[in-house]
Amino acid sequence: MKLIRTLFLVSAWGVAATAAAAASSDDGTVTLRVMVDQPGAKIDRNIFGQFAEHLGRGVYEGIWVGPDSPIANTRGIRNDVVAALKELHVPNVRWPGGCFADEYHWRKGIGPLAQRPATLNPNWGGVIEPNTFGTHEFMDFVQQIGAEAYLSVNVGSGTPQESADWLEYMTTSQPSALATERLRNGRPEPFGVSFLGIGNESWGCGGSMTPDYYVSQLRIYARYSRNYNAGHPMRKIAVGPDGADTGYTEAVMKAWQGRNWSWDFDGLSLHSYTVGKWPPTYRATGFGEAEYAQLIEATLRMEGLIRTHGAIMDKYDPDKKVSLVVDEWGAWLAPTPGTKEGFLEQQNSQRDAIIAALNFNTFARHADRVRMANIAQMINVLQAMILTKDEKIVLTPTYHVHRMYVPFQDATFVPVVFAAGSYVHENVTLPRIDAISARDKNGKLWVALTNIDPRRRVQIDLAAAGAKRAAGQTLSAPAIDSVNTFDAPATVAPKPIAAKSAKGRLVLELAPQSITVVALDQ
Ligand code: AHR
């Protein structure tokens, strides 16, 4: 007999999830059906993008130690960090901010290192910005890790001319004065800029602009911020909504619908953090199950946000030409005690790993509209992949999830149907299981499974996918707040997992609070 669980019946768009299809057996095993004959959109690799702002120890110490540092480096960029990031196949890196971008003046970050002026970073601790990591160093960094460049231009305190000059400096191959200056600074050939953000949070730290005022700026910047590198196309990303507020979405998309030959953009930015409450007070470690459940509930609101803004975008752009770009997302928690104010340093636990997986799954389910996303932030800031302390680095649980999800980059989404069950803690009710599937470019079928429940193991039967074997990795932890530290760097680390079909079943057992990614073989 089959038990039907209806509380959270999960299916992908266009798939009629019948009760009979989504079932669990008497022993609690959940059957996962992979709808291989109903492939969906491509999961753009750019949804696994990252964000490196001049904030705290994100860039300085995290990426840049300078060429004279005793820490092993290549042209000032730390080798250990580059090696770790290469494993993630990071598709793009957003830089220089964030709020920092709207006070950044690119000219201060070019030329001989010793001659660069010290400026201030008023957004983030009011510290000195040495400008030793500028355009050339950032481009070197993304080239070293194999990523594409996503730059944000200064709309808040800059000018359209400053933005136009930056683009000309970077991208022209003509012998203009700016290109000649670039050559003098050691770069004869043009850089490739893949993405250009026209401002950042223009509704807030980026100038507190009304939607209509921003639209008037957007038209000007989108017109004059030209890419001259014909061999390297550039896509422009407009500022969009702050969380659930739809004012920018309406105004910017309406303007896009009325665009003409002189200006255009390709993406609309959405920023939404998993905060719980503002200012961020949820602890990064030492928290209990209530804080766990509340924060997972908060992160699952990404689904509703994408639907809300996606519906408005559909109204103005039914063909889905404009991407929804979630270029700031992740857990924003109480800072690590003893760290500098404004540096946004926080530890990273198994809960962060689950938050990362659930957001990836959400983006993948909306792959037809969400074609780019950037976790905030890459190193030492907010939900980081890597923490550094002098010459040491530690890979966080969030790092491991990124690595496990590499097979989903540019894979084709495949709907899955399963009875998610429910996990209840106090007044919070969540789906117990989340899952996605995709077929990679080599035809291999992958499944990612998250067991949200911190108390129960769950059996998943994958036999309905027609596979004989499942093999991959699982990320579990002794406790939901387990972290990796410089002294114990492998408390949370992926382990191999595999299952073979027997008696018509192919059962994987998911540990409590775990993420599992497996390939299915015939
Ligand atoms: O990621 C930290 C900050 O959060 C960014 O600078 C800003 O864009 C957002 O408010």
The tens place of each residue's pLDDT in the chain, 522 residues long, gives 333 333 344 444 333 343 334 555 656 799 999 999 999 999 999 999 999 999 999 999 999 999 999 999 999 999 999 999 999 999 999 999 999 999 999 999 999 999 999 999 999 999 999 999 999 999 999 999 999 999 999 999 999 999 999 999 999 999 999 999 999 999 999 999 999 999 999 999 999 999 999 999 999 999 999 999 999 999 999 999 999 999 999 999 999 999 999 999 999 999 999 998 899 999 999 999 999 999 999 999 999 999 999 999 999 999 999 999 999 999 999 999 999 999 999 999 999 999 999 999 999 999 999 999 999 999 999 999 999 999 999 999 999 999 999 999 999 999 999 999 999 999 999 999 999 999 999 999 999 999 999 999 999 999 988 899 999 999 999 999 999 999 999 999 999 999 999 999 999 999 999 999 999 997
Residues with CB under 6 A from ligand 1: 53, 97-99, 200-201, 205, 328, 376-377, 382
Counting ligand 1 atoms within 8 A of each CB, the residue from 154, 201, 341 with the most, and so the one to mutate, is 201
The pLDDT, as a whole number, for residue 26 is 56
Tell me the three state secondary structure of residue 280: coil
Could you give the angle at the alpha carbon of 41 between the alpha carbons of 35 and 46, nearest 5°? Answer: 125
Q: How many CB atoms lie within 10 A of CB 448?
A: 24
Q: Which residue minimizes the CA distance to atom 2 of ligand 1?
A: 98
The pLDDT, as a whole number, for residue 14 is 31
Q: How many CB atoms lie within 10 A of CB 444?
A: 13
Q: Positive or negative, the Cα torsion across 7, 11, 14, 15?
A: negative
The pLDDT, as a whole number, for residue 464 is 86
Start-to-end C-alpha separation, the chain = 27
Tell me the three state secondary structure of residue 422: strand
114 alpha carbon to ligand 1 midpoint, in Å? 29
Residue 343 tokens read as 């540096």
Q: Which atom of ligand 1 is nearest to the CA of 376?
A: 1
Counting ligand 1 atoms within 8 A of each CB, the residue from 205, 326, 380 with the most, and so the one to mutate, is 205
The pLDDT, as a whole number, for residue 5 is 35
| Nearest-angstrom CA–CA distance, 393 and 474 | 22
Tell me the three state secondary structure of residue 10: strand
- Runs of H (alpha helix) within 270-396: 289-299, 301-316, 350-365
Q: Are 409 and 367 in contact (CB under 8 A)?
A: no
Q: Are 24 and 419 in contact (CB under 8 A)?
A: yes
Q: Are 138 and 240 in contact (CB under 8 A)?
A: no
Q: Which residue minimizes the CA distance to atom 8 of ligand 1?
A: 98
State the catalytic residues: 201, 328
The pLDDT, as a whole number, for residue 166 is 98
189 alpha carbon to ligand 1 midpoint, in Å? 32
274 alpha carbon to ligand 1 midpoint, in Å? 13
The pLDDT, as a whole number, for residue 465 is 84
Counting ligand 1 atoms within 8 A of each CB, the residue from 328, 344, 346, 382 with the most, and so the one to mutate, is 328
Q: Are 377 and 57 in contact (CB under 8 A)?
A: no
Identify which of 395, 393, 268, 281 has the alpha carbon closest to the alpha carbon of residue 337. 281
